[in-house]
Structure 1
Amino acid sequence: MSKSYLMNTYGRFDVTFEKGEGTKLYDKEGNEYLDFVSGVAVNCLGHCNPVIVNTIKEQSSKLMHISNYYWNENAMKLTEILCKNSDFDKVFMCNSGTEAIEAGLKLARKYGSIHGGEEKKEIIYMENSFHGRTMGALSVTGQPKYQESFRPLIGDVKSVKFNDQEDIKIKISKNTAAVIVEPIQGEGGIIPAKKEYLKLLRELCDENGAVLIFDEVQCGMGRTGKLFAYEKFGVVPDIVCIAKALGGGFPIGAMVAKENVAASFVPGDHGNTYGGNPLACAVATSVLGELIDKKIIEVNVNEKSGYLFDKLKKLKEKYHIISDVRGMGLLVGVEIKSDIKKIINTCFENKLLLITAGANVIRFLPPLNVSFEEIDKALSIFEKAL
């Protein structure tokens, strides 16, 4: 089978996977790999979780897609679960994290124009952030390497230094429609926001009539030890964008918002063809059932997080090429003073999958139902690579 027909948009490892089960992946030769990438924080219940597989089988035999000209019970059930387990009132369903970001940006600008006039459309974003690769999301991504080849981007955007209170105080104004921030910068190196900084953003947005947007595409849906990452910081934004783990491997995204902000959208303002389809919503409902009702977030994530951090910090004491261990829950970054690609490739050769986060950070993203034994095995391979 030829690889030549795929566009050259990814730097892939030289392996072709054919099957997955739990934390394990199997290539076409039958070799077993321990997966601590989880589809980049997507496969929160591991590969081919029986609950997800059975939901797909059952729902796909009933109804998969009808468009948003009609109601479907699965979408209504999913949005109710999201709102009842958060501080939000309304949900816009879509298919990916980038789509959720685009919806959030549009809603914030619409809200700004209604309540502050045509001049109120500026969006402030963080340096070192990552929000996606579509033109709107790319325009508020604070990493020039992703932007340079695609200018001009959308206008009326402004960057500020992440976690720098003085910089945001200077740059926010009455013309600011929104401030967008990742509670934990993912692609930028697994860097958590300071609680005091997020509290200040909330205060400044309130003072200036701006919308506060949290991008929880990677850090949300249980990965921090709470369903939504904002719960760990004690700051409630106006909009949260989610995706990845929401579908446990099935494509789905969502933007959740406060009632007063969500009311800015009217029919025709925004939409998509597949968003909220019965199949994706059924899968997401099943995933949330496992995460919330089976207490995977409440018990497993928090227990395994403490265990993983403790083990990694001991490795930091032992190996001086580790300069930092940081993150939250099962979103963990290990900062390395040496060549991280060499370490990741060595792990890959020894059948452990890890990826980078920024230039010098190795990212650990196991499934949220990972076992202690699987953590031990992964760290044993990682230590050998060190």
Structure 2
Amino acid sequence: MKEKLSKNEMIVEGDINLSEARKTWLKDQVSTEAKTLLEKDAKYFMHQALSTPCLDVLANAQGALITNTSGKNYFDFHGNNVHQLGFSHPKLVAALKQQLDALTFSTRRYTNKTAINFAEKLTSLTPGLDKILMTPNGSSAVGIALKLARAVTGKYKVLSFWDSFHGASLDVVSVSGESVFREQMGPMMPGVERIPPPITYRGIYESNEEKALEYLEYILAKDNQIGAFLAETVRNTDAQIPSKHFWKAARKLCDQYGVLLILDEIPIALGRTGKLFAYEHYDIIPDILCLGKGLGGGIIPQAAIVTKKEFDQFNQISLGHYTFEKSPMGAAAAHTTLEIIEGEHLLEHVVYLEGMMQAELNQLQADFELIGDVRGIGLLWGIELVTSRVTKEKASAQAEAIMYECLKNGLSFKVSKGNVLQLCPALTITETQLAEALNILRTAFYKITQA
């Protein structure tokens, strides 16, 4: 059993949660009250990979911080990728209270001003993408995109990257690349091809994007039933950042072979990369854009697809047909989120903090041989830990130790792929708060590497 867990810990998307270190954390760092609540949590909730057992019990979440029942604060550098505005943004809370006093639900076959105003606002920010469908979660948004691509192209196959993650529903795990989500699930949806991603550090091509593009063209040329290429513009889990050349070439290949480009920006849109949408860095426009997570401001579950008006020709097909399809609460949250990002100049704030974060993490790499690579954009960063910069073997034990040392001192983040510290703070974090959090990280490196 231990060998199997060790293997899974090396490859899954998510932090390490079944190790001896987790048991020690729960024993030594969690209050008696929290332990009682965690026991009840384990009793009543289904157990599942990547989130069981829970680390602690939260009582509050404000701004860049989450707070447990004992009053301990953590800087949340994970946030489930919903915390672009931080937590409980006062303007968003006020807007939702106002909506609660008005229309709280919109029955299907009816619309409402709140949803229409949101759709108008969103499409004003996505030139070339003029139509939307709303959905309660990101997996459903990807599902709609896949159905629409089949309808538009008449082709049923999908291309995606190895190790990619696009959601946890059965249809979406069928087309995603992360194998852990397909374990014990039996037959998957047919017609999926997967290719190596343009990994910037570790991987089959070792930063050779031309080889990745050759592979992409080879697959598209040999299989005329591929109708969609589904990919994250920037890979969130371990902060992989393709070049502009890669995405412009990939866009051209999709056009050449009649394939719709579906960009999944569910975790990384809305300012995370320093632009409202990550594809803006690459001077391309996708055929379908999938949004979610932070779209609801970290309060209301809300997702959507945005696509081209020429694809709006399937009135006879139920592409989504979700109960909360035009939720006034979700629309109010999403519209207000966009207004806050714009009104509080969060994109400029992210670009400023990006420079600060890059300088500190690069210095960290210079100071510690344990760090094999630092990569990132905006306020999405990955620190890849290796036992040797020559062999590039994963330093998974050290990654776990650093994570728990940071947790002890009030910094929460996840470990991806077994050895990548993924750092993803709220976009509203202040310069002072960011400096404090990065100091916790540096102190942890000193302690663990000298132990």
- Asked whether the two chains share a fold, i.e. TM above 0.5, the reply is yes
Cα displacement (A) at 1:231 = 0.2
Once the two structures are superposed, residues 280-328 of structure 1 have per-residue CA deviations (whole angstroms, 9 ceiling, x without a partner) of 111111111010233211x111111111111111111111111111121
Partner residue in 2 for 1:376: 435
| Equivalence for 1:44 | 84
Q: Report % sequence identity.
A: 29
Separation in 2, partners of 1:125, 1:25 = 35
Distance in 1 (CA, whole Å) between partners of 2:344 and 2:257 is 41
Partner of 1:127: 162
Give the alignment partner of residue 271 of structure 1, picking from 321, 325, 334: 321
Residue 181 to residue 243, structure 1, CA distance change in 2 (3 Å) = same
Q: Does 1:199 align with 2:248?
A: yes
SS at match of 1:179: strand
Question: What SS does the aligned partner of 1:251 have?
Answer: coil
1:92-241 superposed matches below 5 A: 92-113=133-154, 120-163=155-198, 164-172=212-220, 173-187=223-237, 189-241=238-290
* 1:304 and 2:353 are equivalent in the alignment: yes
Aligned to 2:382: 333
Match of 2:401 among 327, 339, 342: 342
CA RMSD of aligned residues (A): 1.4
SS in 1 for 2:256: helix
Partner of 2:411: 352
2:99 aligns to what?
A: 59
SS in 1 for 2:44: coil
Identify the match of residue 294 of structure 1 among 330, 344, 359. Answer: 344
Q: Deviations for 1:62-116, whole angstroms, at most 9, x for unmatched residues?
A: 1211223101111111111111111211001011111111111111011112xxx
Structure 1 residue ranges, 4+ long, deviating more than 4 angstroms after superposition: none
Equivalent residues of 2:138, 2:292 under 8 A apart: yes
Distance 2:107 2:363 in 1: 52
Query: Is the CA contact (8 Å cut-off) linking 1:190 and 1:357 kept in structure 2?
Result: no
Amino acid of the structure 2 residue aligned with 1:211: L
Matched position secondary structure for 1:204: helix
Q: Structure 1 CA distance, aligned partners of 2:80 and 2:419?
A: 17
Task: Measure the CA separation in 2 of the matches of 1:131 and 1:56.
Answer: 28
| TM-score normalised by length of structure 1 | 0.94
Alpha-carbon distance between aligned partners in 1 of 2:402 and 2:312, rounded to the nearest angstrom: 46
1:317: which partner in 2?
Answer: 366
Q: In structure 2, how many angstroms separate the alpha carbons of the residues matched to 1:82 and 1:170?
A: 36
Change over 3 Å in CA distance of 1:327–1:265 after alignment to 2: farther
- Residue type of the partner of 1:220? A
CA contact (8 A) 1:24 1:34 kept: yes
- For the residue of structure 2 that corresponds to 1:245, the secondary structure is helix
Deviations 1:10-41 (A, max 9, x none): 2344310011221122211111222222x222
Alignment partners' CA distance in 2, 1:66 and 1:78: 14
Q: Give 1:198 shift.
A: 1.5
Kept after mapping to 1: 8 A contact 2:231/2:262: yes
Q: Give 5+ residue unaligned stretches, structure 2.
A: 1-36, 199-211, 387-394, 446-451
Equivalent residue number for residue 28 of structure 1: 69
Counterpart contact for 2:162–2:196, Cα < 8 Å: yes
Match of 1:117 in 2: none
Higher-Rg member (1/2):
2
> Aligned residue for 2:120?
80
Instruction: Name the CA shift for 1:162/1:265 in 2 (closer, same or farther; >3 Å).
Output: farther
3-state SS of the aligned residue for 2:159? strand
What one-letter code is carried by the residue in structure 1 that aligns with 2:112?
A: N
Q: Which moved more, 1:256-265 or 1:312-321?
A: 256-265
Rounded Cα–Cα distance in structure 2 between residues aligned with 1:352 and 1:95: 30
1:116 alignment counterpart: none
Aligned residue for 2:87, secondary structure, equals coil
Whether 1:365 aligns to 2:424 is yes
How many residues were matched structurally?
A: 377
- Name the SS for the 1:125 alignment partner: strand
Greater mean deviation of Cα atoms: 333-342 or 75-84? 333-342
* TM-score between both structures, scaled by the size of structure 2: 0.81
